[in-house]
A and B are shown apart, each in its own frame.
Chain A
Amino acid sequence: MKSAHSRPLDLKHGRVDLSHGAGGRAMAQLIEDLFARELGNEFLAQGDDGARLPACAGPLVMATDAHVVSPLFFPGGDIGCLSVHGTINDVAVMGARPLYLAASFVLEEGLPLADLARIVSSMAAAAREAGVPVVTGDTKVVERGKADGVFITTTGVGVRLDGVDVSGANARPGDAVLVSGPLGDHGMAIMSVRENLAFDSPIVSDTAALHDLVAALLAAVPDTRVLRDPTRGGLAATLNEIAHQSGVGIVLDEAAIPVRPAVAAACELLGLDPLDIANEGRVIVVCPASSADRALAALRAHPLGSEAARIGDIIADDRRFVQMKTRFGGRRMVDWLAGDALPRIC
């Protein structure tokens, strides 16, 4: 039978217009020719307002994340794969196996369809690689100037792994703090493009789905107490959250914290602290000190955790301070960032 849409979607020169969100034929075509084609799976193929999913064995975990990154494409990724990784990671660090994703797109009128196609294709590849399908979605178009190209909100559902109890409130004095790899790659990759800073060796975002790494860790160290992905606000914000939730203090050893030389140099140049910079493929682990070596071995055995390190300890401290022994031999606080990370003037 002949398709109802006689003129194919112009993915080369076309642009999003308001009709792509108006519920008419143009919208149906966009969904069918782009979203369904790229993201296609048995649940999406049901074609209904939502997805009918099979029963799950075990308690559920749900997380949602709105992705608004500028530029849309950056070294190491784009908003498409980022929106898949981000939500998978939020589910994974709850100690769960992610099963399904939902995706909502807010498109700005005028967005090149070629860009949208690239983004959706990257999203599909990330979902396929992670084995977590996008089972339902929605698209809206807003007038030019009312959004920044495309905003993507993804929601993930997962099932909690047996015998695992991780929470930001579980850290106890004497526990060890680990990180799965070098810090600041994502934030500085974005910043280098946004601020037009050219470095000899480009900094590449660490965006990645961490659920496999987390599953391997939890299999080796089921008594892991806290898992967190240090996204916005970086390590500093995440550790302060953990200290507050658990009512403990944290002492870091600066010399043990992995930061790539290019990231350290870029931060130096801009007057930023790598501990405040966002990551999209790293996990912070708090576990009993007696399990720390096992946890480190499990992380390092996985490609995404090959540069994992033990970076500090949980201590008793009613003030819930995060402190750091500096490489220089002094001590300082590692505080939440006030507002956004703004470069210093001189």
Chain B
Amino acid sequence: MKYVDDFRDGELARALGAAIHAEVQPCREYRLMEFCGGHTHAISRYGIADLLPPQVRLIHGPGCPVCVLPIGRIDQAIRLALAQRAILCSYGDTLRVPASDKLSLLRAKGRGADVRMVYSPLDALQVARANPAREVVFLAIGFETTTPPTAVAVKQAQAEGLANFSLLCNHVLTPAAMHAILAAPQGVQLDGFVGPAHVSTVIGSAPYEPFARDYRKPVVIAGFEPLDVMRAIQMLIRQINDGRAEVENEFTRAVTPDGNRKAQALVAEVFELRDDFEWRGLGTVPASALKLRAEFAAFDAEARFAIPYAAVPDHKACECAAILRGEKRPEECRIFGTACTPDNPVGSCMVSSEGACAAYYTYGRFREAAPVTTTTSA
């Protein structure tokens, strides 16, 4: 903890906040998108917005794996567990995502589905070993960070000849989503990106070059600690003030230009690009997700079970799509905090604590009203 505490130091934060105040140009707005849910979470949890000048507007991007998972994919997982009687293994925060028929994986569990929370795909392998007579499916979700461990699990399953293990693969790609945001026909006003932390440890900083070069948007890769985020914001403001658009790396303690080549090779060995994939909020994005290669088809739940994909439209009033594209703020959604709360989420942004709506609701709701005066504290 000593190591991470250094990146949460309040005094350093105040000094950095003061420096940022001094550097912003008073008459302009800086619209910065933090792509990752991990950044959204850090910003909300540490109250970073309180340390920034009003000219800086943070826009929460789609980098929350749970939030961008379309309803139809959760429906498939539920069908696997309920109709096909498979043991469905999932990361914890996927369990509450609302699906069709007022179901979620958690509610399906209440109806008799065998749904198990795991911390790693290797835990799912263990479940498969322990239940040789049952089909065990791992609901694989996430960006480039969680893909290599899934690849390890598939290789391991192949080596062991684990015939009852398969994946429902939903791994998606960060650069493709950033491209989709910038290329959106309705346009999006952005001055720069706080670039992904853990994702960049895998893919490196090079894949962001086109955003600086072709779209003239500065990108600063930042760690998930609050001082990382503030430092990246300062670096972005400097680029914008100088009229530069470059890929800079604040997270040098973990990210290199080329990333983790071994992990990349492993992913390339097991997975290949899908032609396109439906994202919640971004719609169908070409070449934005991965599927298992033909050699590993035996571990592909979509090939193994009859679970055809059916797209399901979002709830009419839900603004998750516009929020994920950075066009709207959570509190601009009509059902935010009324019909849609973390206890009864309508949209996926309200489910994971990395989702923009849940982060606003859980950590930042007091900002909507005038600040209250506080008495002195101990």
Contacts and interface: CB of A to CB of B under 8 A. Distances in A.
A74 interface: no
Contacts of A265: 1
Interface in A300-338: 309-313, 315-317, 319, 321, 323, 325-333, 335, 338
B110 interface: no
Contacts of A255: 10
A333 B377 contact: no
Nearest to A345: B91
Given A261-B1, A328-B226, A342 B364 contact: no
A327 B377 contact: no
A253 B378 CA distance: 8
Interface string B331-343: 0000000000111
B146 A346 contact: yes
Contacts of A264: 1
A343 B372 contact: no
A268 B366 contact: no
Interface in A252-280: 253, 255-256, 261, 264-265, 268, 270-271
* Central interface residue in B49, B50, B374, by most chain A CB within 10 Å: B374
A272 to B, nearest CB: 10
B8 A327 contact: yes
B4 A326 contact: no
A271 B66 CA distance: 15
Contacts, number: 138
B92 interface: yes
Given A328-B46, A331-B366, A342 B10 contact: no
A187 B282 CA distance: 39
* Central interface residue in A309, A317, A327, by most chain B CB within 10 Å: A327
Contacts of A317: 372
A343 B47 CA distance: 21
Interface in B29-51: 38, 41, 44-51
25 contacts: A253-B378, A256-B377, A261-B1, A268-B4, A292-B378, A310-B378, A323-B366, A326-B47, A328-B46, A328-B226, A329-B51, A330-B46, A330-B50, A330-B51, A332-B47, A332-B363, A333-B364, A338-B341, A339-B343, A342-B95, A342-B96, A343-B92, A345-B92, A345-B94, A346-B146
The 5 closest A-B pairs by CB, nearest first: A330-B47, A338-B342, A342-B92, A310-B378, A330-B50
Interface of B: 1, 4, 8-10, 13-14, 17, 38, 41, 44-51, 65-66, 91-96, 106, 117, 119, 141-143, 145-146, 198, 226, 341-343, 345, 352-354, 358, 361-366, 369, 372-378
